[in-house]
Amino acid sequence: MNAERLMLLGGVSAFVLTLYWVRSRQLRERYAIGWMVLATILLLCGIFPNLIMRFADAARLSYSSAVLFIALGAMYLFSFFVTVSLSRQHRQSARLLQEIGLLQSRLEKLESRLEDRAEEVDRENGQAHNGQRVRAISAVPEVNPRIPR
């Protein structure tokens, strides 16, 4: 099997796998675009091997060196794209974890204030029904769900 047929087969396989994984929701569309671009490059190189030969002549490289250069360049670009995306997701995860911590702290404070207020109302009323506290509706403080950033 020569290099052109291998690239053609690789391009078709990449298209089929990418479409399958996107349809089964195992691959997000954002990443699928990169894989589709790579599959298109492989298909074009397989269908039009003269493109690689022209590139090799222009860059004064041998045919195999040009194929290797294109393959390594595509892998580098795609790896860089994925790394940038993972970095964004890491920052977003860290920010969300911080927000969750702030919300939990705020919830604990509000629950504590509510418990204190319920005990105060119990003492004022001097009542208890079956061992449970009587909680006044007015004892619940108003909660603002927005967290300052």
Coil, helix or strand at residue 8? helix
For the chain, what are the domain ranges? 3-139
User: 27-36, 65-74, 93-102, 122-131: which has the highest mean pLDDT?
Assistant: 93-102
Percent of the chain with pLDDT over 70: 82
Q: Which tops the pLDDT comparison, 105 or 25?
A: 105
CA distance 59 to 94: 45
Tracing tokens 């009587």 back to the chain, one arrives at: 134
The mean pLDDT value for 110-119 works out to 91
Q: Is 136 left (phi over 0), alpha (psi -120 to 50) or beta?
A: beta
Residue 75 confidence (pLDDT): 80
Q: What is the phi/psi pair of residue 141, to 5°?
A: -70, 150
Strands (E), 25-114: none
Per-residue pLDDT at 130 exceeds 50:
no
Q: Which two tokens stand for residue 137?
A: 């509706």
Could you report the per-residue pLDDT of 9-57, keeping only the tens digit for each? 877 888 888 888 888 887 777 778 878 887 887 788 778 878 878 878 8
Residue 94 confidence (pLDDT): 93
Length of the chain equals: 149
How much is the mean pLDDT over the chain?
78
Q: Which two tokens stand for residue 67?
A: 């194929």
Residue 136 confidence (pLDDT): 47
Q: Which two tokens stand for residue 53?
A: 């030969």
pTM of the predicted protein model: 0.49
